[in-house]
Amino acid sequence: MILGTDCVRPLLLALPLLGLLAASATAAGLPAYAPDANAPRSAVPEVYRWDLSALLESDEAFERARLALLAELPKLSGFEERLADPKSLAACLDLYFRLHRDANALTLYANLRQSTALSQDRANAMVQQSLATMDELMRAAAFIRREVLRMPAGTLEAALAAEPGLAGFRAYLGNLRRRADRLLSPDAERALSLLGDNLWAEIDLNEIPSPLEDAFGALLTDIPWPSIRDEQGREVQLNLANYTLYRQSPDREVRRAAVAGLFGSLRQYQHALAATLSGQVKLDVGYARARGYDTAVEAYLDKDDVDVAVYDNLVRTVNASLPLLHRYVELRKKVLGLPDVYLHDLYIPLVPGVEKKIPFAEARTLIEGALKPLGPEYGAVLAMGLDPANGWLDLYPHQDKRSGAFSSSVYGAHPYVFMNYLDSLDDMSTLAHEYGHALHSHLAMKAQSYPDFRYPPFLAEVAATCNEMLLSDHMVARATDPAERAYLLVNRLEDIRTTIFRQTMFAEFERAVHQLVEAGTPLTAALLEQTYSEIVKRYYGPGYTFGPDDGMEWAYIPHFYYKYYVYSYATGLASGIAIAERVREQGEPAVKAYLGMLSGGCSEPPLVLLEKAGVDLTTAAPIEAAMRAFERTLDEVEALLAAR
C-alpha cells in the first residue's frame, strides 16, 4: 500500500515572516510556477517532477528487471524441504529477501509512474505486471512460511544460535512463529496465496492492492466531475485534486457547489461504489475467517502485533469527548454568523483576513525551521529531501495526476514524496506530514537490514503527525498579533478535528461495515449511506446541519480499502502530540528516544518501540491527553475571539 493522506490539514501562517521569506524563491534558484490542476504534466517545470532513476532508469529497464527477477524465481524451489538445515535456511532467506526487495522496486516504480499518468495504458500495464510478479514471488516462497512454522521451537532457536547468517532474520522469524496457529494445510495455503492473501507480515508497506481497490480507483478516475464557478465567477473543472481547495473557499456558494458537485456525482455511481467497497469488506472478512480469526479487526491488527484494545481505547475515549467537538461546531456557527453549519462550513478559517498563500519555497524554509528541534542529522536529510533538484518530490498537480499526497519508499533508494501543492497554507502542513513519513523510512533504512526496516502501518502516522505538531508549535510561538494567534490555534483545533475526531469517525464506520458483513448483512448503497450518516450526525452533534448528499462521503475515501489502517491516523496524532510535548520539555533525551523509535523499523513490536519513545497506547492516556489539548486550545480560542 502506498502511504497516503486524504485528511484536511490545518491552515498555518506566521504573518511577520511572509515579507522576509518573499525572496526565498529567488534565493533557492527555483523557477516560478503558478499551480494549475488542469495543466498537462509537460507544463510543470522538470525540477518539480520526481526522478525515478533511483529505482529504475526507464520503462525498458523495468521490463528487463521484471524478466530477470522471474528468471531467478526457480532458484527458491531448490531450498524446499531443506530449511531444517540452518545454512540452507540462511541462504534461502538471503535469496528471498533480495528478490522481495527487487520486486518492491518494480511495484514502487510502476505505482509512481501511474500516479502521474492515470490514463496511460503503459503505466497501468506496468502496475499489473509488477503486481503479478510479486504474486509469483509470494507463491514461489510460500514453502518458507510453511517449513519454518513446522519446525519445533527448540529447533529454530538452536539454528539461530548456531548459524550467524540467521542473525538478521531473527525478528522476521519470530513474527512468523508468533502466529503459527494461523497456518493452514498446504492446499489451503496455496489457495489463499493464489487469491492474494494479505494477512502475513512478509508483505511490506508497498502492499499489493486488491482488485476491488484497483476497481475503486479506476471508477473514481472515470467519473465525469462537474464544473463549478470559482470566486471570480469563472467556470472551473472540479476534480479530486482541487476539491479540497474549493471546499475551503471563503465564498460560501463556491464551497457549497464543490461539496454538492462531488457528492452529487458520487451518488450517480453509488451502486458501483457500494459494490467495490462491499467486495473489499467481504474479502477482508474472508481472509480473517480463513485464518481462524473471529473478526477482521482482530486479524488486521494482529498482523501488526497490535492489541484490539488500542482500537477500542481510541473509539471509547473519543466518543466520551464528543461534547468538545459539538462545542467547537457551535463556536463555528456563532463566529461565522451562520444560521446553520454544513459540511462545507467546517473547513474555512474562523479569523478572516489573515490567511495567505505560502508558495513552496517559503513552505520549505518554514518546515526546516520548525523541525530544527529534531537535531542536525534529521535536519540535514530533511533539507536534502525538500530540495526538488534531488528528485524526491513530485510537487504540483496536473491533468491525469492522482489526487492527495503520500510518501513511499523501497530499500536502497531515497524515499519519494507525492504532492498536489496549490500554494495553500494547508499544503504546507501536508508537506511536513509527508516528509515525516519520508524521514521515518530513511532512518529505518539506515539503521536496519531489509527484513527489519519496514515499519508497520500502525507506526507510520506518528512521525508524520509529530512533524505537523512541531510546525504548528513553531508558528504559534512566533505569533505576536492576537488575530494571528487565534487563527493558528483554530487550525490546531482543525488538525485534531480532522485527524483524531474525523479519522476515528471513519474507523467506526469501517468497523461497522465489517460487522455487518460478519453478521451476514448485504452492504447496499442505501445501508452504507445510512450507517455513515448516523455516525456523522452523532459526531458533529445538534449544531450541525446534515446536507442531502453528505451521506455519500464514504464513497470516495480510499482508506476504507486499506484494511483497518485509518485508525492509525488518530492514534498517530495523539502519539505525535505527546512526543512533540516531550521534545519541547525534555530536549535531547526525548529526541534521542524518538529518533530511536523511527530507526527501529519492525525490529521490535510496534507498541514496544512506541513505549520507548514515551507513549503507551495500550492505555487511554495518550488519547485523553490529546483531548485535553483540544479543550485547552478551544478555551483559548473562545477567549481570543470573544475579546475581538
Residues with catalytic annotation? 434
User: What's the alpha-carbon Rg for the chain, to the nearest Å?
Assistant: 24
Nearest-10 crossing angle of helices 567-586, 308-320: 80
Distances, alpha carbon 379 to alpha carbons 293, 365, 375, 387, in Å? 44, 11, 6, 12
For cell 530513511, what's the residue? 442
Sorted by sequence, the CB contacts under 8 Å of residue 334 that are 6+ apart come out as none
Distances, alpha carbon 343 to alpha carbons 244, 422, 498, 550, 634, in Å? 12, 22, 12, 8, 20
61/596 Cα distance (integer angstroms): 36
| Of residues 216, 414, 182, the one with CA closest to residue 298 | 182
- The grid coordinates of residue 87 equal 545454512
Angle (CA) 473 477 483, round 5°: 105
- The grid coordinates of residue 490 equal 483554530
| Of residues 640, 644, 568, 575, the one with CA closest to residue 614 | 575
194, HSE (Cβ side, Cα atoms, 13 Å):
6
602-611 exposure pattern, b = at least 16 Cβ within 10 A, e = fewer = bbbbbbebbe
- The grid coordinates of residue 411 equal 530499500
322, HSE (Cβ side, Cα atoms, 13 Å):
18
Sorted by sequence, the CB contacts under 8 Å of residue 234 that are 6+ apart come out as none
Q: Would you mind telling me the total number of residues written for the chain in this entry?
A: 644
Which amino acid would we find at residue 362?
E
Beta strand 416-418 pairing with 393-394:
parallel
Which amino acid would we find at residue 562?
Y
CA torsion through residues 463, 466, 471, 477, sign = negative
- The grid coordinates of residue 155 equal 529447533
Nearest-10 crossing angle of helices 621-642, 308-320: 30
- The grid coordinates of residue 562 equal 486499506
CA torsion through residues 637, 638, 643, 644, sign = positive
329-363 exposure pattern, b = at least 16 Cβ within 10 A, e = fewer = bebbbebeeeeebbbbbbbbbbbeebbeebbbbbb
How far apart are the two ends of the chain, measured CA to CA in Å? 47
474/365 Cα distance (integer angstroms): 12
Which amino acid would we find at residue 390?
N
Nearest-10 crossing angle of helices 322-336, 525-540: 80
- The grid coordinates of residue 388 equal 526538488
Angle (CA) 433 436 442, round 5°: 150
| Of residues 294, 308, 435, the one with CA closest to residue 360 | 435
